[in-house]
């Protein structure tokens, strides 16, 4: 029995065992006892996760994959299957810290990262394979074309490390693009606590018109009078570091 990859679910099954083991080895398995795998498919990562000293949960919406996993991995009990990762309330489902890992479906790559951001207080670590473009955006630095909303919002809460690139030919069916594996390690930047909503608004408004100076891009948010001569407003969003955005948010809130 095998599972047929479904295009509408963005499924590309990893076939290289060495890469699967390398992804699992990317997790530290420290400071938490539970790991949630997103999109396990036929369990190429799952088999190595189950060798670790942690309780493994899987988020899978493909019924065929769920039946395959139940048949081949008896360690996974009924309560270890939790359905759609994008719809679950992680706070309500887990009463302790839970790491996230996965060969993530390309069609929801960014959504998965934004979900992790939303629950950063409960997710200390993530190792995942994404479309290479998304992985590079998450790890991007200022003044590069890949640096944007995703980069800033992720890096405000996590240290991001780009681990390695994966070629198309180790998947069935092979995707049309390369993949990239990244690790997020929770490390919220100082000054962000209590300012998250305003921070997101400023970052999103700034990058939504990334070619304009922030003095124009942020007009939609009604820039406080006391900040209208701020030097950051003469720069574009892509020129500001994560720390710059946080300090500017603090000044905005205190104005």
Give residue limits of the domains in the chain. 7-186, 196-254
Distance CA 133, CA 131 (A): 5
Long-range contacts of 31-34 (CB under 8 A, 24+ apart): 31/97, 31/124, 32/96, 32/97, 32/98, 32/99, 32/124, 32/125, 33/96, 33/97, 34/94, 34/96, 34/97, 34/98, 34/99
Q: What per-residue confidence (pLDDT) applies to 12?
A: 82
pLDDT attached to residue 148: 98
Q: Which of 77, 204, 74, 198 is nearest to 148 (CA)?
A: 204
The CATH number of the structural domain formed by 196-254 is 1.10.8.100
Segments in the chain below pLDDT 70? 1, 5, 8, 10
pLDDT at site 194: 87
CA dist list (Å): 236 to 19, 127, 165, 205: 39, 31, 30, 11
- How far apart CA 37 and CA 35 sit, in angstroms, is 6
Residue 208's H or E segment, with its range, is: helix 196-208
Please report the pLDDT score of residue 1 as a whole number: 59
Q: Same fold for the domain at 7-186 and the one at 196-254?
A: no
Quickly name the fold that domain 7-186 has.
Rossmann fold (3.40.50)
pTM of the model: 0.94
């Amino acid at each position: 029995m095998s599972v047929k990859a479904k295009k509408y679910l963005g499924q590309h099954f990893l076939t290289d065992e060495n890469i699967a083991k390398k992804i699992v080895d990317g997790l530290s398995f420290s400071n938490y006892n539970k790991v949630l795998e997103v999109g396990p498919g036929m369990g190429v990562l799952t088999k190595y996760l189950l060798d670790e000293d942690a309780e493994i949960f899987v988020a899978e919406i493909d019924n065929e994959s769920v039946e395959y996993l139940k048949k081949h991995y008896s360690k996974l009990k009924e309560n270890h299957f939790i359905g759609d990762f994008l719809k679950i309330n992680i706070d309500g489902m887990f009463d302790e810290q839970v790491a996230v890992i996965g060969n993530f479906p390309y069609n929801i790559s960014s959504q998965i990262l934004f979900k992790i951001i939303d629950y950063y207080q409960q997710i200390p670590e993530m190792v995942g394979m994404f479309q290479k473009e998304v992985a590079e955006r998450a790890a991007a630095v200022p003044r590069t074309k890949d640096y944007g909303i995703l980069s800033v919002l992720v890096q405000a809460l996590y240290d991001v490390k780009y681990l390695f690139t994966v070629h198309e030919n180790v998947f069935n069916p092979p995707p049309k693009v390369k993949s990239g594996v990244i690790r997020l390690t929770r490390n919220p930047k100082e000054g962000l606590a209590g300012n998250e909503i305003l921070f997101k608004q400023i970052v999103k408004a700034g990058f939504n018109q990334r070619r304009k100076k922030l003095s124009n891009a942020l007009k939609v948010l009604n820039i406080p009078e006391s900040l209208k001569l701020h030097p950051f407003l003469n720069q574009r969003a892509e020129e500001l570091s994560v720390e710059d955005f946080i300090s500017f948010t603090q000044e905005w809130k205190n104005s």
